[in-house]
Amino acid sequence: MKVHKEGRRILFVTLLVLLALNLLVFNFNKGADLVNRLFAGATVIIFLLILQFFRSPFRHLFTHEDLLLAPADGKVVVIENVFEPEYFEDERKQISIFMSPINVHVTRNPISGLVKYFKYHPGNYLVAWHPKSSTQNERTTVVVESDAGPLVLFRQIAGAMARRIVWYVNEGDEVSQGEEFGFIKFGSRVDVFVPIDAEVKVELGQKVKGGETVICQLKL
C-alpha cells in the first residue's frame, strides 16, 4: 500500500492545518485535558479518512486483448444499451461504476490500444448516480482503438463531492491495460461504452476492483 501522488500535497497541507489547530486548542484549554484529547482524537480520525482516500494499493494486473478490466474500484450501477452522442453517434452498451468516497480513486485503462480521441468537458457537479451526470457533469472522454480492433470509450465523471479530475493520457498515446490513466478526487463515477455485441461479465450491484475485475469481453 502506498499514498498516491495526487494526495501528497493535500495530506501535507492537511497535516499542518490540523497540527496548528491542535496547538491553538491546547493553548486556550490548558486545563481541559479531556476536551484537548477529544479534539486531538477527532483530528487524527479526519486525517486518517483523507489518507485512506488517497491510498494506492498494489494490484495483480494481467492483459488480454479482448477482455475489458474495470477502470476503477466501486459498484456497477448501470448496464444498458444507450445512444452515445459524443463520439460514436450510435447505440452502444454502457457499463457504469460508481465510486464512493471510501473507494480507491485511481482510474485505470480498461484495455490496451491507441488513444484516438480525448476531450475534457467542464460542467456541473450533480450526484454521480444522476442519469444526466454522464453528459452534464465535469468529465473527460477517452476513446481507445483496442489491440483487439473494436473502439472503446470510457469517461471519468465528477460527482457532487469530486471537484477535480486528473488525467494522464492524450490523443495519440499508446496505453496499456491496467495502467493508470487518471484520478478523481472525492467520489465519482466511470462510464464505459463498448459495442452492442460485447458480452458483459458483471451484474448490477456487483463490486469490482480496478485493473483486476473483468467487466466484459469483446467480439473479435
Catalytically active residues, by annotation? 188
Spell out the residues 6+ positions from residue 188 whose beta carbon is closer than 8 angstroms to its own. Answer: 99, 105, 128, 156, 157, 158, 159, 161, 162, 165
The answer to whether residues 112 and 176 touch, using CB atoms and an 8 Å cutoff, is yes
User: Which residues are bridge partners to 107 per DSSP?
Assistant: 182
Distance (Å, rounded) from C-alpha 102 to C-alpha 168? 23
The answer to whether residues 219 and 198 touch, using CB atoms and an 8 Å cutoff, is yes
DSSP labels, 193-212:
EE-TT-EE---TT-EE-TTT
Q: Which stretch of DSSP H or E encloses residue 11? A: helix 5-28
The CA-based angle 136-139-141, given to 5 degrees, is 115
The answer to whether residues 31 and 45 touch, using CB atoms and an 8 Å cutoff, is no
DSSP labels, 76-89:
EEEEEEEEETTTT-
Distance (Å, rounded) from C-alpha 103 to C-alpha 110? 17
